[in-house]
Structure 1
Amino acid sequence: MDSTETLFARRHEIQVVMLPLPAQGHLNHLLQLSRALSARGLNVLFVTTSTHINQARHRVQGWDLHNFPIGFHELPMPSFSDQQPDLENKEHTFPVHFIPLFEALEDLREPFDRLIQSLDRNRVVIVHDPLLGWVQTVAAKYGAPAYVFNCFSAYFYAMKEKGLGLPDCVVSSKRCLPLSFLDFKSRQPDYLRLAAGHLMNTFRALESQFMREDYCEKPLWAVGPLLPQSIWTAKKGSTSSDVESCLRWLDGQHPASVLYVSFGSASSLSRQQLQELARGLEASQRSFLWVVRVADSARFTASDEARMDWISELLPEGYEGRIAGRGFLVRNWAPQLDILSHKATGGFVTHCGWNSTLESISAGVPMVTWPLHSDQFANSILVARELKVGVEVKKWTKADENELVMAEEVEKAIGRLMAEDGEGLEIRSRAKELGLAARRAVAEGGSSFKELESFIHHFTSILDERNND
């Protein structure tokens, strides 16, 4: 049997190439997988445009920014129509301004091909986002094993692959995904059948009943939750003044008393919806930390001061004065892991992106689920109805799916989640249990720890067999 030193030496000969979709949640998933593989003795190269590399590095938590254990390779930014987020889009909350970038990403095929050609092709492994299926053709050209990293919940994939739809929820497919994105997906060749296997950022204790290899007919590994050490230790991973100010505010709050409110980095609420949310938070009489910001553009240019100041104009008149001391507003990117792992945080109003959902589960924080688009409706049902670690802000139907969530609905959902007895107490208890299960999964000997090692063994064996022929 190989010694630990020999295994690390063999692994260090391998080059793992990561190619994410350039959107924050997707970037973060593969960056965290990169860290996990690097910690196990593998060379990892994170490959995307310079703009998106810089953004991923800027927002990563739990790492020393000056000592990344992985390499980065910059690809040229493809030419595309750079659109700004539409804050008053009445038809859809999906970030349609990203679609021109997604459509242009196939222009990266040639520079990516040149990169793979420059490496030792007998020792290269590729991991990529499922929306970059063309990567499989490059991998096949050089005989490199290529794996798909799925950035969504197993629950979402199980329903999608089996065509089950959303149980007890008749929200239309148009609400989940706009026609422009469905058209983009329909034009993607079916390259994923060439994949050597699939990885998912989840863990067996969370979603085992929804993880079946026959959905993808290839090996499937649950390797999550892929999170930095800070989520487990509650160590603060950032030192900027903006970060320190909101964490200092949390330090002054009672344990489990603060509601954290964030809808991710890609979507913005309309003026009317933002005002209803503001009124609901005010009426709840709960302390809250609200990330109220403009969504990222496809080039990540949303954080200029003028646009942040504009947010204040959208809030109800006199709002900031009335909530002073009880509410804290963050107008830029927020250190979500630090906030969720803080002892003062007792609940999370979330859009249910899988990244945010998994971070909240791992921190043992219950949720008010407020999905906006895509897989988020499935994740909301998983959290509130299957796992029972949250409450839905409302039950969506075709009749009211484009209607506002009213202040009264916000106030009621918060009251249910933060109640100190009954339903609220039961939800918090289950959330803490799942948080402990997440810790066990990634600890040495845990299910995800073992499956990550199994994944490494899978591609190492393929490479060894090829090199021995």
Structure 2
Amino acid sequence: MKELQLVFVPLPGMGHLRPTVEFAELLVNHHENLSITILVIKAPYDPAGDALTSLSFPKRLHLILLPPPNHPNSDHSLNPASFIDSLVENQKLNVRQAVSALISGPDSPHLTGFVVDMYCSTMIDVANEFGVPTVGFFTASAAFLGYMLHIHTLRDQDNVDTTVLNFKDSGTEFAIPSFKNPVPASVFPGAALDKEWATFFYLHASRLKKMKGIIINTFEELEPHAVRSFCDADFSIYPVGPILSGGENQTVQRGSDIIEWLNGQPPRSVLFLCFGSMGYFDDIDQVTQIAHALERSGVSFVWSLRKPPPKGKVAAPKDYSNLEKVLPEGFLERTAEIGRVIGWAPQAQILAHEAVGGFLSHCGWNSILESIYYGQPMATWPLYSEQQLNAFELARELDLGVEICLDYRMEFGNVSRSGVVSAERIEKAIKQVMERESEVRKKVKEMSEISKRALMEGGSSYSHLGRFVHDMLNWG
């Protein structure tokens, strides 16, 4: 059989790049005549692309770092939504040239399709030029995919405008097929509430509907209702998760101090607080309330606390050079025996550690999957993107999380955060999530075992991966 080739185009950012690379590795290991080339778009706000190209990969998996576009808008003067679209749109020429080079030789593998990130959907135009189908790679939940497509339909058919003033505070609830319960407007993602982001959101939703299929980083047993909601869709879906970051060994050395500290703690005694690669609090009052809650709870903890980027900049948060400036006076000394406040955190290693017994999380989908896989119950504190919907699904639909808040928001265009969350509220959730014999803990432990079985031969995700390969072979 002639060798086949897929081209992947992921969005910059660790939360998109890592799952893409992991899925590509799964595919080449599953099919011996398949090769994959991942075209990596470099973004000034994220160094992940450079880091990934320095790693080693299977023989039939290649990464190409695309050159900067002609007009990279490096001054970040655009709205973030426009910045992301411009960044991807301006790479079309480079993608065309890279793919042309890949297929130009007489012995080049046969190009069978493009797999593009949910927010790189504009690359469907390039795939069409090469006469091959496009499959979406959806790094969020099946429930969110259903939400995204349904809200696009509501806007097109019923003129529902989610960007009107006070929409999120209207108390309105929506029946969305991928959710069992009515979804309140208060947990709609910021991208549906802000006028500039909404354009971005709806455009990508419309393109996703035109794709041959959509690969989703989830597994059937986690989201059975959401997965079933696509049974009549015009495209195929492939729930192949949980796709987890397998490159943690590359970061162990960087986080070795905190792992060493955890080695000395009792099993299931430590709470891990982490708000993702782009999460931060620019309100010192909120940082103070978290510190008070931790101290009052008496729970051992590891807290990843990051410094906000400069106002108006699209950039990842950095580590604080002096934590004492942002924490209550004497906090570090008073909690020295039971806690550690750090900057960047090796999240997967910490969640996998036997000393950790709970996770206070921003509810990014990758973090949710990691937490479930490692059997850690979560306390929900969404910040941005679709995290409010994720928190709602986790706490209200799946009963796998303890609710701190569902509708908290970082500053986001015209959508402001909902005030400071009190120490009392945080403390209550901390005690609930760390409770040894809670129903949530039992359910998470059960789902952890199911998530592992889903990836094994005969498991649901393994079977969907095989179905994707079978369908790909029949594309022609």
Normalization by structure 1: what TM-score?
0.82
Distance (whole Å) between structure 2 residues aligned to residue 248 and residue 434 of structure 1? 28
Equivalent position SS for 2:368: helix
Distance (whole Å) between structure 1 residues aligned to residue 408 and residue 348 of structure 2? 32
Equivalent position SS for 1:237: helix
For residue 208 of structure 1, what is the amino acid of its counterpart?
A: P
Other-structure match for 2:132: 144
Distance (whole Å) between structure 2 residues aligned to residue 358 and residue 256 of structure 1? 19
Higher relative contact order (CA 8 A, sep 6+): 1
Equivalent position SS for 2:238: strand
For residue 239 of structure 2, what is the amino acid of its counterpart?
A: A
Q: Could you tell me which of 252, 257, 272 is aligned with 1:245?
A: 257
Confirm whether residue 223 of structure 1 aligns to residue 235 of structure 2: no
For residue 249 of structure 1, what is the amino acid of its counterpart?
A: W
Distance (whole Å) between structure 1 residues aligned to residue 184 and residue 462 of structure 2? 35
Other-structure match for 1:6: none
Cα 1:385–1:184 shift into 2, 3 Å:
closer
Cα 1:295–1:26 shift into 2, 3 Å:
farther
C-alpha RMSD of the superposition: 3.1
Cα 1:345–1:240 shift into 2, 3 Å:
closer
- Verify the 8 A CA contact 2:121 2:204 in the aligned structure 1: yes
Cα 1:240–1:354 shift into 2, 3 Å:
closer
- Verify the 8 A CA contact 1:161 1:215 in the aligned structure 2: no
CA deviation profile, 1:374-403 (whole Å, cap 9, x unmatched): 321121122112221211103649999611
Distance (whole Å) between structure 2 residues aligned to residue 312 and residue 82 of structure 1? 32
Aligned-pair CA distance for 1:24 = 2.3
For residue 425 of structure 2, what is the amino acid of its counterpart?
A: E
Confirm whether residue 48 of structure 1 aligns to residue 40 of structure 2: yes
- Verify the 8 A CA contact 1:158 1:215 in the aligned structure 2: no
Aligned-pair CA distance for 1:194 = 3.5
Per mean C-alpha deviation after superposition, the further-off stretch among 180-189 and 385-394 is 180-189
Distance (whole Å) between structure 2 residues aligned to residue 157 and residue 343 of structure 1? 33
- Verify the 8 A CA contact 2:12 2:42 in the aligned structure 1: no
- Verify the 8 A CA contact 1:267 1:296 in the aligned structure 2: no
Other-structure match for 2:454: 441
Aligned-pair CA distance for 1:168 = 6.2
- Verify the 8 A CA contact 1:263 1:350 in the aligned structure 2: yes
- Verify the 8 A CA contact 1:169 1:396 in the aligned structure 2: no
CA deviation profile, 1:267-296 (whole Å, cap 9, x unmatched): 321222222112212221101111111367
Distance (whole Å) between structure 1 residues aligned to residue 361 and residue 351 of structure 2? 12
For residue 15 of structure 1, what is the amino acid of its counterpart?
A: Q
Write the mapping of 1:235-384 to structure 2, written as runs, cut at 5 A.
Answer: 237-238=249-250, 241-270=253-282, 271-294=284-307, 302-303=317-318, 308-332=320-344, 334-384=345-395
For residue 46 of structure 1, what is the amino acid of its counterpart?
A: I
Cα 1:428–1:188 shift into 2, 3 Å:
closer
Aligned-pair CA distance for 1:228 = 4.9
Q: Could you tell me which of 86, 91, 108 is aligned with 1:103?
A: 86
Equivalent position SS for 2:475: helix
For residue 209 of structure 1, what is the amino acid of its counterpart?
A: H
Normalization by structure 2: what TM-score?
0.81
Other-structure match for 1:167: 182
Aligned-pair CA distance for 1:215 = 6.8
Per mean C-alpha deviation after superposition, the further-off stretch among 238-247 and 263-272 is 238-247
- Verify the 8 A CA contact 1:346 1:365 in the aligned structure 2: yes
Distance (whole Å) between structure 1 residues aligned to residue 386 and residue 451 of structure 2? 21
Aligned-pair CA distance for 1:420 = 2.9
Aligned-pair CA distance for 1:132 = 1.6
Cα 1:426–1:337 shift into 2, 3 Å:
same
- Verify the 8 A CA contact 1:134 1:191 in the aligned structure 2: yes
- Verify the 8 A CA contact 1:51 1:299 in the aligned structure 2: no
Q: Could you tell me which of 102, 108, 117 is aligned with 1:119?
A: 102
Confirm whether residue 180 of structure 1 aligns to residue 196 of structure 2: yes
- Verify the 8 A CA contact 2:376 2:444 in the aligned structure 1: yes
Equivalent position SS for 2:399: coil
Per mean C-alpha deviation after superposition, the further-off stretch among 436-445 and 263-272 is 263-272
Other-structure match for 2:170: none
Aligned-pair CA distance for 1:161 = 3.2
Other-structure match for 2:166: none
Other-structure match for 1:233: none
Distance (whole Å) between structure 2 residues aligned to residue 58 and residue 400 of structure 1? 34
CA deviation profile, 1:429-463 (whole Å, cap 9, x unmatched): 11000000000100111010011011011111213
- Verify the 8 A CA contact 2:149 2:209 in the aligned structure 1: no
Other-structure match for 2:466: 453
Gaps in structure 2 of 5+ consecutive residues: 104-108, 152-174, 410-414
For residue 35 of structure 2, what is the amino acid of its counterpart?
A: N
Per mean C-alpha deviation after superposition, the further-off stretch among 362-371 and 221-230 is 221-230
Distance (whole Å) between structure 1 residues aligned to residue 8 and residue 150 of structure 2? 29
Write the mapping of 1:77-88 to structure 2, written as runs, cut at 5 A.
Answer: 77-78=68-69, 79-83=72-76
| Structure with the higher fraction of residues in helix conformation | 1
Equivalent position SS for 2:186: coil
Confirm whether residue 76 of structure 1 aligns to residue 67 of structure 2: yes
Per mean C-alpha deviation after superposition, the further-off stretch among 198-207 and 381-390 is 381-390
Distance (whole Å) between structure 2 residues aligned to residue 37 and residue 252 of structure 1? 39
Distance (whole Å) between structure 1 residues aligned to residue 130 and residue 233 of structure 2? 23
Cα 1:157–1:351 shift into 2, 3 Å:
same
Q: Could you tell me which of 5, 14, 34 is aligned with 1:15?
A: 5
Distance (whole Å) between structure 1 residues aligned to residue 232 and residue 272 of structure 2? 35
For residue 199 of structure 1, what is the amino acid of its counterpart?
A: I
- Verify the 8 A CA contact 1:171 1:401 in the aligned structure 2: no
For residue 129 of structure 1, what is the amino acid of its counterpart?
A: D
Distance (whole Å) between structure 2 residues aligned to residue 196 and residue 208 of structure 1? 22
Q: Could you tell me which of 178, 202, 214 is aligned with 2:218?
A: 202
CA deviation profile, 1:149-190 (whole Å, cap 9, x unmatched): 112111222334334368364416475653332233355694
Equivalent position SS for 2:266: coil
Aligned-pair CA distance for 1:34 = 1.4
Confirm whether residue 30 of structure 1 aligns to residue 30 of structure 2: no
Gaps in structure 1 of 5+ consecutive residues: 1-8, 85-94, 231-235, 464-469
Distance (whole Å) between structure 1 residues aligned to residue 349 and residue 331 of structure 2? 26
Equivalent position SS for 1:104: helix
Distance (whole Å) between structure 1 residues aligned to residue 64 and residue 314 of structure 2? 18
Aligned-pair CA distance for 1:210 = 0.8
- Verify the 8 A CA contact 1:266 1:296 in the aligned structure 2: no
Equivalent position SS for 2:11: coil
